[in-house]
Structure 1
Amino acid sequence: MDQLDSTTREERRAAAEALIGELEDAGVTAVALPWVDTSGITRVKTVPLAKLPSAAAWGVGMSPVFDGFLLDDSIVAGRFAGSAIGDLRLHPDLARLVVLAGQPGWAWAPVDRYTQAGVPHVQCSRSLLRRLVSSYADAGYAVRAAFEVEWVVARPDGTPDDADAFVPALSGPAYGMTRLAEVSDYARDLLLALDEQGVAVDQFHPEYAGGQLELSVGAQDPVAAADTSLLVRNTITAVSAQHGLRVSFSPKVTADGVGNGGHVHLSLNRDGENLMSGGEGTFGLTAEGEGFTAGLLAHLPGLLAVGAPSVASYLRLVPSHWAGAYAAWGLENREAALRFVTGPEGNRQASANVEVKCFDLAANPYLVLAGCLAAGLAGVRAGARLPAPVGVDPASLSDEGRREAGIRALPSSLEEAVAAFEADEVLAGAFGEELAATVVDVRRGEIALFAGQTPEAVCRAVRWKH
């Protein structure tokens, strides 16, 4: 994105003014302007509807201190973040403005963060992702992406002696029709709200853990996919509140539970053709599709610092729990970190993709996709090749068997992931010095925050943050 000049500002003001009448007719009183911090928490400022043109042209003031926030709202005094000095401007993306069906009277528009001089803030994750998308376009490629969203619904009042305890609001079995019957009205209202907001839902179903549900949406360009992930979670939270339910997207709601994932689906395209299909490689991969997937696989350890960014993430990321704890890939292998999906015969050009299973919803989705795009493009440019696919649970192999197959365990702690991120020149180069340093500083801040705490204490502290 270029510097905002007077012409651009006037164009933005005029675009916002043109929307006012339509928004008034829809009953909108105010507009929420969200962004996601380094810890994966969605922060927000709002403006009355009448102030939307001013916000579009000049932005809304907000301190850059939030780059250094931890999930408990304490602040890390990092190398490039955490200071009380300075100001930024939040500029709403009017192309993504949505009237919120689950929050009457409100509209929603994600923001890009600019400096007072009108240039993109160096630590704005949405701007970073936009730049990575442009790098693909310059190379003749495009990426399609989508997030799966898992969450649990709970009784709002916990237990008589612990209001913050997790008490599942559903009692039916995993994937059970009885659970769907329990949640029928709620699910209907959620799906209607998402449809009204223009979100293309592919699937909705009860999941494995107590009170757990899952929703997947159609693939979009990466910036839109990250925006949609925020909008879906916001809508889930709002509709849940209307039904008297509390919701958690935490990677580990209880120490003995399986946790919530935030799987990412990706496909590489050129001139409208899906390069994950129709090639001469394994499972129909083209050379570019293989390079893209191999790039993801090679950089997964460092990518975990953004895709599994919490101490709680590593309570979820354990073998034989469908979390993808090993750096391996395989056809429809839900224990491999990269699950290759061909789709059904006859529809593979449309549906072939790779699913990254080791990520969760504590992550900033813009940082996640930016990291994936950087890793994938590095693989394409290097002509990287994949090892042999893995057709078993890697945990079922001996240590020697995994070594022979070239299968590595992914980092088992946030400390290990941060070290891998620091050592990854591709990711550090894509993120830039300041943002890369802030990712490290904030992760180390969370490590210190939870040092010496039990898994139960970590789960409790994180449970209602995401």
Structure 2
Amino acid sequence: MTTLADPVPGGRPGDVARATALSGELAGRGVHGIVLSYVDTAGVGRVKTVPTAKLPAAATRGVGMSPVFDTFLAHDAIVTTDVLGSPDGDLRLFPDLDELVALAAQPGWAWAPVDRITQDGERHPGCSRTVLRRTVTEAAERYGLEFRAGIEIEWVYGRGDVPDGEFVPATTGPAYGATRQVELSACTAELLAALAAQGVDVDQLHPEYAAGQFELSVGALDPVAAADRSVLVRQTIRAVAQRHGLRVSFAPAVTAGSVGNGGHVHLSAWRDGVNLHAGGDGRYGLTAEAESFAAGLLAHLPGLTAVTAPSPASYLRLQPSRWAGVFTAWGPEARECAVRVIAGAAGGRGREANVEVKPVDLAANPYLALACLIAAGLDGLATGAALPAEVTGDPARLAPEEAAARGVERLPVSLAQAVAAFRGDRVLREALGPILADAVIAVREGESAAVEGWDEERIAAAYRWTY
């Protein structure tokens, strides 16, 4: 279980002794350094590393890092808000010892996610992991709810022996084809072994639709741990691929005009060990609270896309009739709807039932995405929101008058449109707090300005190896 207490200067009770013991254990296993990992507002993983012997010091005093990264763009340009983006100041990175793990695909290294606090020991308002933890804690205190979450991971394998920046698929087989599994069997077998060694519960690994594309699904966890796991799994995929002479891209669109990489989020709300998405009197076994939670997700989707689809490349992926979920529609097992209700298989519905949000990709900061999704769902629960009529098939095929009658609308078609919707969504902005919400807006506007006038292929190429 992930630590749900904020870090404090001097360490939380027991942290220093535990860090000292872990340091000795890791050193005895040949681990020389520890990666301290977080994700910035643009969705890029940033790190500092310390020698293994310095883990107790990191647990006691943290490790310094500038707050300027809260307003970095994906390509390292810097924008500013009235609070963030200055070269001044410092923060402390505190590792979560519950999530520390030796990296099987990077011998000599361990990994831990961090929380960031100020020099005075206060929560840093720009720390997305802290915001998600606060959101989960407040949901438990106010509604008695816990959540389980899982983030699907899609990526493409590219050959590593081609000119820098180019993409040539590392497999030749068809979508979902056995040929792909055979061609990359050594790499994917090592990936499964590495993830198992790191304690990652993998549900599925299979070839996907686009050229060179694979997908991996992991078991559901509490939201903070689910976001941590998404970051760790991607680090592991990349490290294993490199050992096999391959490159990987998690970018929303690796090439223009084709199906992109998603990061669909699965969420379920629980109270006293009971899944609210199963066994209810509503449609498809939903309880009234689960229906309202799903309705909240649906209502806030336009603004949510600024967080869940945060890159200019995201909007190359968010196209109709590609299973990306680009309309404000929901349905049971409806893969073209933005919100898909999953009842689960007979005999396992109490464990498996959940709601899937599809317009999400892996350019998203997973902590920000989950915090905003939970906030949107809780708003629906608080207001008793009702789900509209369900949609089956492809919403793109609805006649305009029928779509309007059902409340089915196209989600933003550009990052600029998504930012405008986010600006107008009080619930989402309040969930992040004014400082982080302003950073989201500034970074998204900076990304939009950076690609103004570019064609789709140039945008895809620019972000191809960023994520």
Q: Shorter-chain TM-score: what band?
A: over 0.9
The 1:151–1:3 alpha-carbon spacing in structure 2 relative to 1, beyond 3 Å, is closer
* Cα distance, 1:119 vs structure 2: 1.2
Of the three residues 150, 156, 160, the one matched with 1:156 is 160
CA distance in 2 between partners of 1:457 and 1:215 (Å): 28
Residue by residue over 1:150-178, the C-alpha shift from the partner in whole angstroms, topping out at 9 and shown as x without a partner, is 000001132xxx43111000000000011
The 1:2–1:26 alpha-carbon spacing in structure 2 relative to 1, beyond 3 Å, is closer
Residue by residue over 1:424-461, the C-alpha shift from the partner in whole angstroms, topping out at 9 and shown as x without a partner, is 11111111111001100000000000001111111111
1:88 matched to 2:91? The reply is yes
Greater shift in the superposed pair: 16-25 or 315-324: 16-25
Aligned to 1:439: 440
Contact 1:9 1:58 in 2 (8 A): no
Contact 1:157 1:164 in 2 (8 A): no
Residue by residue over 1:87-130, the C-alpha shift from the partner in whole angstroms, topping out at 9 and shown as x without a partner, is 00000001100000010000000000010011110110000000
* Cα distance, 1:371 vs structure 2: 0.2
Aligned to 1:105: 108
Aligned to 2:240: 239
CA distance in 2 between partners of 1:454 and 1:172 (Å): 29
Of the three residues 19, 31, 39, the one matched with 1:16 is 19
CA distance in 2 between partners of 1:259 and 1:133 (Å): 30
Aligned to 1:57: 60
Identity level (%) = 59
Runs of at least 5 residues in structure 2 that lack an aligned partner in the other structure:
none
Runs of at least 5 residues in structure 1 that lack an aligned partner in the other structure:
none
Contact 2:329 2:408 in 1 (8 A): yes
Greater shift in the superposed pair: 376-385 or 90-99: 376-385
CA distance in 1 between partners of 2:437 and 2:176 (Å): 40
Aligned to 1:422: 423
CA distance in 1 between partners of 2:29 and 2:258 (Å): 42
Contact 2:67 2:84 in 1 (8 A): yes
One-letter amino acid of the counterpart of residue 396, structure 1? R
Residue by residue over 1:396-436, the C-alpha shift from the partner in whole angstroms, topping out at 9 and shown as x without a partner, is 11111111121111111111110111111111111111100
CA distance in 1 between partners of 2:187 and 2:161 (Å): 18
| 1:291-302 map, 5 Å | 291-302=292-303
Residue by residue over 1:26-72, the C-alpha shift from the partner in whole angstroms, topping out at 9 and shown as x without a partner, is 21000000100000000000000111110111000000000010011
SS of 1:17 mapped into structure 2: helix
1:344 matched to 2:348? The reply is no
Residue by residue over 1:344-382, the C-alpha shift from the partner in whole angstroms, topping out at 9 and shown as x without a partner, is 122111111111111100000000000011111111111
One-letter amino acid of the counterpart of residue 119, structure 1? E
Aligned to 1:196: 197
Contact 1:303 1:421 in 2 (8 A): yes
| 1:26-425 map, 5 Å | 26-138=29-141, 139-158=143-162, 162-425=163-426
Where does structure 1 differ by over 6 angstroms across 4 or more consecutive aligned residues? none
* Cα distance, 1:3 vs structure 2: 6.8
TM-score, length of structure 1 as denominator length: 0.98
The 1:10–1:292 alpha-carbon spacing in structure 2 relative to 1, beyond 3 Å, is closer
CA distance in 2 between partners of 1:49 and 1:22 (Å): 10
CA distance in 2 between partners of 1:31 and 1:81 (Å): 28
Contact 1:68 1:82 in 2 (8 A): yes
Q: Number of paired residues?
A: 462
> RMSD value over aligned CA atoms?
1.0
CA distance in 2 between partners of 1:119 and 1:26 (Å): 35
CA distance in 2 between partners of 1:19 and 1:2 (Å): 20
1:465 matched to 2:456? The reply is no
Contact 1:100 1:108 in 2 (8 A): yes
Contact 1:79 1:441 in 2 (8 A): no
TM-score, length of structure 2 as denominator length: 0.97
SS of 2:338 mapped into structure 1: strand
* Cα distance, 1:10 vs structure 2: 6.7
CA distance in 2 between partners of 1:21 and 1:363 (Å): 35
CA distance in 1 between partners of 2:446 and 2:87 (Å): 17
